[in-house]
Structure formats: C-alpha cells, structure tokens
Chains A and B, each alone.
Chain A
C-alpha cells in the first residue's frame, strides 16, 4: 500500500513537472525580468534537479509538510487541515445516510418483490440514479430554502464556531450527494437479497420456524451485504468527489473550493497535496473493504491464511 502511495505521489509530481509553464514566471507575470525570475526560482528551489526536488517534497509530505502555496504564500498543510474536516464530515454523513437508508429500503423492496410497491420503488430508483448530485443540490436548496424556507442557502457556519449549526447546514448537501448512490445501492442490495433468498440455507432457516423478517435479518442480510461492501468502498471515493462539486452549490468553503481555486491559479503544491490526500483516503478505504470482507465472509479467511 505504501508502495502504491509512493507511485501515486511520483506520478502526480511528475505530471505537474512536465506541463509547460514555469511557476516562477506565472507568479511574477510575463513581463518580469529574467533576473527576478531566476532569483525566485532559486528561492522556490525550482533550479534543483527533478529527483532532488521530488525526494525533498516526498520527505516533506511524510513529515506533514506539503510545501508552500504559490498563490497564498501559506503552508499547504495548514490550509488543508483547516478544510479537511468539512469535506470529510460531509462525505461521512452522506455515507451514513446512504447505508442507513438503502438497507431498510432494499429489505422492504426484496420482501415485497414483484408487488406494485416494489415496481414503484424501482422506477423511483431509476429516476434518482439519473439525477446529477449538484442538480439535486440545486433542487433541494430551492425547495427547502426558497419554497419552504427551512434553510438559509449560503448560511454556512464554520465548525469552529458552532458545530451543531455546521452539521445542520451539511444535511442538505449530504442528502444531495448520498441520494444517487443510495438508489444505486438499493438496486444492488435488493437483487443480492433476492439471489440469497433462493439459496437452500434459507429453506433450512424457515424449517426451524423463523419468520420471514427473522430469516431476512439473521441469515440473508449478512450474506447479501458481502457484495455491497465493495460498492460502498468505492462509493466513499465517489462521495468525496461528489462533495467537492456539491460544496460549490451550497457555497461551502471545503476542500473542493481549495482544489478548484488552486487549479485555476495553477497553484501546484496545493493541487498535489489534495490529490495525494484523496489517494490516501481511497487506499485506506480499499484496506477497510478488504478487512470488512474477511470479517463478513469466513470463507475468505481460510484462503488468505
């Protein structure tokens, strides 16, 4: 895993290296003198060979030093650490919503498979899956902010000031991020439950006098969740991406704002750091999924061990 992270870091660093344009030139403007550019290059350390810079950057990263932002002149680490909780909170709420809503809905749909409610749910699901998260966000802020007036668009409160109000503000954006994924996982989980329900151990469970709900909860659900774990693991990464877009809809100053601003300003140390961070989250998620897999499915433990 560390090796993969190293590879990602290298690719990211190299990618920003090969693009045309000199950070020193872009910072000073195109009519800067050659001497001042050279001076700045020395100051920024850009005159050193590529690998030297890569390794010094890498060591910095390992110590939590991601360099200095070109445009703000501040340490990147500080900028990100401040914004990270916002995006992570939002993704976390979305994930909890997604799992918390999709499991009961999928159970309900599977229990009533083939009925009119099931078909209605399926159509609703198809529709929700087709809605981009940011459009959902716009619709939600219009509905709750302007029609119902339960919510103040743009009324973001910093988590440092009032954590409760901060969380309250995050609810709608999180719903916007979660719903499409939720619809997807209802669809997958429903079919996984139905596939499990056809297996023989279910009949055995019924022969012991369990009710349908008991059979579903005690036996089927755990087995049906196994394939869903992969999906949820990948959904976390998608939700971070979704949060970055939806943050713009709700005017939340999170990681998304930093990333977009620094892309626009070609502030590469910041972009690199954000990407590396997201890669880290993605890899951690992969690790978590593997662990969960082994916890859920005893058959895998055998094969690995």
Chain B
C-alpha cells in the first residue's frame, strides 16, 4: 500500500469549543491508483488532502489516527523528514491556479524549485532541461517562452498546467489534486482531466482527486470515497458506487448530477 489512512480525525481548537471537522476516516490508496474524494463544501475532503500533504498547521488543531505514507506516519514525523517527502514523493495542486503561483517569480524558477531542494546534485542546466521537459509534457505550447514568463502573463488553464508541471517535476508517487478544475472553464476542465489521466498512466503516479463534482470524479477515478460532515459515507469502485449506491446520501448526490454531464 502506498498510502493508508487509519482512524483519522481533525479537531479545531481555535474557538472556545473544540470543533470536530473530520472523524474516523479509514481508506487506502495503491500505487498508480486514482482515488476520488467527493463531498459538499465543509465535508472535510480538502482538509484530508492537506493533512496527507503535511500542510495542516501545527497549532490550534488536533490530529488523531495515522496517515501512513509507505509505512511512515506523516502526522508524527519530524518537520525536516516531512519536508523530504514534500515536493519529492508527495505533491499537491490547488483550486486557484491564479493565486497558487508566486506573482513575482518567473515560471521556470517555480517549476524548478522542487528540484533545487530535493535534487541538489542537479546543476542549473539539468534543472532547466527537466523543467522544460515537464512544461512540454503538460502540453504547453512554446515551453521556452512560458519558462521565462511571469504567472500574470498566462491564462488560468496554462497556469494550472504549470502547477502540474511544478508538482510532477520531482517524480512524486502521490499527487493530491484539490479541486484542480473548479476555477476553470468547462473545455479547459476536460483537457486538464485528460492530462491528469495521461500522467497517471505514463508516470504511474497515484492521484488523490478531491472534488465536489461527482461527474468529474466518475470520469477520472478508479475508486471513490463519499464524505459528508467529516465522516465517510461510502467507499468503493467508481462504477459500483454509481450503479448501486447503498447510502441515501450517495443516491441524492448522484440524482443531483445534471443530465447533460452524464450523457457525455
């Protein structure tokens, strides 16, 4: 198993009363698998993604259970050991490609950054070559020009491709995608989904795909987790969940999918 999440829970302590936002979560993810997590906003799906990437704040927050990445517990690791994983083994892309990139740093430097940290043996030329390779691999035309651009010079879809390139450049085993297409137009959305599928096949990278959009989850995932109010409602292979949902909540979610999307 690449990733095992056991009895995982999150409790916020930043107000007067502690607030449980994720509870008793159990699931696992195999090498090369695409797992979709679906739920409404506030279901705890994004927080789960951030926790696996080791990006939850250390203060004001209590984490329970275990998140085992190749047997090591991400929740209880030293910060320095965690940083070794981040950007190298575990990567993440976010919802807003507009704000997820540093506005005053050239694209090239941002794509190379993970290499700079984790592959100190690479020289500048090798890094650049690798970065350009990935910029081409995410189907960006004119990769050299993009390499020297600033984020504001690119469209939203291009920026999300840049984010994917920056995440994949270190050759990770797990890519966490937190609503990666929500901020994009429908056509761009479809392209990004196909891109992620292709990368998954070619690189054998496991993808944790977090979304509120069931139809997207159905297109991309092998297995699905349905979450509601911090709890796991149902999990299983994607076709099984769609053809014979057991829980009421899942049925309601499926019923709410607009027809047009299902016909695609």
A and B touching (C-beta < 8 Å)? yes
How many cross-chain pairs have Cβ atoms below 8 Å apart between A and B?
Answer: 77
Instruction: Name the contact of B152 in the complex, choosing from A209, A226, A296, A298 (C-beta under 8 A).
Output: A298
- For residue B83, which residue of chain A has the nearest CB? A209
Complex Cα distance, B94 from A210, in Å, reads: 17
The answer, yes or no, to whether A144 is at the interface (CB within 8 Å) is no
- A62-105: CB near B (< 8 Å → 1, else 0) gives 00000000000000000000000000000000000000000000
Distance (Å) between the CB of A207 and the closest chain B CB? 4
Interface residues of B, count at CB 8 A: 31
Please state if A223 and B104 are interface contacts (CB–CB under 8 Å). yes
The 0/1 profile, CB within 8 Å of A marked 1, for residues 58-87 of chain B is: 000000000000000000000110011111
| A209 in complex: contacting residue of B96, B104, B118, CB < 8 Å | B118
A200 neighbours in B (Cβ, 8 Å): 94, 96, 99-100
Identify B86's interface contact among A201, A206, A296, A297, CB under 8 A: A206
Q: Are A199 and B86 in contact (CB under 8 A)?
A: no
Name the interface size band of chain A.
20 to 34
Q: Is the interface of B mostly helix, strand, loop or mixed?
A: mixed
Query: Is B100's CB under 8 angstroms from A204's CB?
Result: yes
**SS of A interface (majority):** helix
B92 cross-chain contacts in A, Cβ below 8 A = 204, 207
Q: Is A205 an interface residue (CB 8 A)?
A: yes
Which of A207, A210, A302 has a CB less than 8 Å from the CB of B53? Answer: A207
Given known A208-B113, A209-B117, A210-B83, contact A223–B152 (CB-CB < 8 A) = no
Q: Is the CB of B117 within 8 A of A210?
A: yes
Proximity string of chain A (266-305) to chain B, C-beta cutoff 8 Å, 1 when within and 0 when not? 0000000000000000000000000000001111001000
Please report A residues at the B interface, Cβ cutoff 8 Å. Answer: 199-201, 203-211, 214, 218-219, 222-223, 226, 296-299, 302
14 chain-A/chain-B pairs, Cβ below 8 angstroms? A200-B99, A204-B102, A204-B163, A205-B102, A205-B113, A207-B86, A208-B113, A209-B88, A209-B117, A209-B118, A211-B83, A218-B113, A223-B103, A299-B150
